[in-house]
A = this chain, B = another copy of it.
């Protein structure tokens, strides 16, 4: 009987393993050999699926986006207040711990490509559209129940919050002395008070 290989499953295992390597050792730690060790697959199998470091990191980017979206959906299902949803969404995007720092690093790795390749730009557009929509829905909900100022333009403010989180997350990874996790949380508190003040 021929051995049945679930290619999709295998790719996801390797993607998750790559992301764990970034969590532990940063972008520089990602090599075919390191991911082989982490995933339990041979370097031969890995080379079959991923031609180079970029291909591994692209898989890690998609895995990170999937995990972040999974966490956002969990937040939405938990019936928190709109402000709590916004806080959780922004904090999911910030490098507040090793897991989220890894996600920000993998995104940073592809920003240059997004600036010069239409496919990568389109992929980023999809992720950002999702984030902006989650924040915007929460802002509208907060305006409906009276916790968020009605005079704010929900679309503009959600773009602003996602832009702030993006810039802060980026600076948090290359400028952690200024944008420490503690400082980033202070910013989030400030933004929430802007919405309600």
**Contact surface of A with B, Cβ cutoff 8 Å:** 26-28, 104-105, 108-112, 114-117, 120-121, 124-125, 128-129, 132, 156, 159-160, 162-168, 170-171, 173-175, 177-179, 183, 186-187, 190-191, 194
Say yes or no: B174 contacts A115, CB within 8 Å: yes
In the complex, what residue of chain B is closest to A157 when comparing beta carbons? B190
Q: How many angstroms between the C-alpha atoms of A26 and B115 in the bound complex?
A: 8
Number of copies: 2
| A61 CB, nearest partner CB in chain B, Å | 11
Q: How many angstroms between the C-alpha atoms of A159 and B128 in the bound complex?
A: 22
11 A-B pairs (CB sep. < 8 Å):
A27-B116, A105-B116, A108-B112, A108-B115, A111-B174, A128-B178, A132-B178, A159-B168, A162-B167, A162-B171, A194-B194
**Given known contacts A111-B111, A115-B104, A156-B187, is B167 in contact with A125 (CB within 8 Å)?**
no
| A184 CB, nearest partner CB in chain B, Å | 9
Task: List the B side residues contacting A171 at CB < 8 Å.
Answer: 128, 162-163, 166
Q: How many angstroms between the C-alpha atoms of A155 and B164 in the bound complex?
A: 15
A contact patch SS: helix
Task: List the B side residues contacting A125 at CB < 8 Å.
Answer: 174-175, 177-178
In the complex, what residue of chain B is closest to A124 when comparing beta carbons? B174
Best-buried of A111, A124, A164, A174 by chain B (most CB within 10 Å): A174
Task: List the B side residues contacting A115 at CB < 8 Å.
Answer: 26-27, 104-105, 108-109, 173-174
| A68 CB, nearest partner CB in chain B, Å | 16
Q: How many angstroms between the C-alpha atoms of A157 and B166 in the bound complex?
A: 16
Q: How many angstroms between the C-alpha atoms of A111 and B173 in the bound complex?
A: 9
Best-buried of A115, A156, A179 by chain B (most CB within 10 Å): A115
Task: List the B side residues contacting A124 at CB < 8 Å.
Answer: 174-175
In the complex, what residue of chain B is closest to A112 when comparing beta carbons? B109
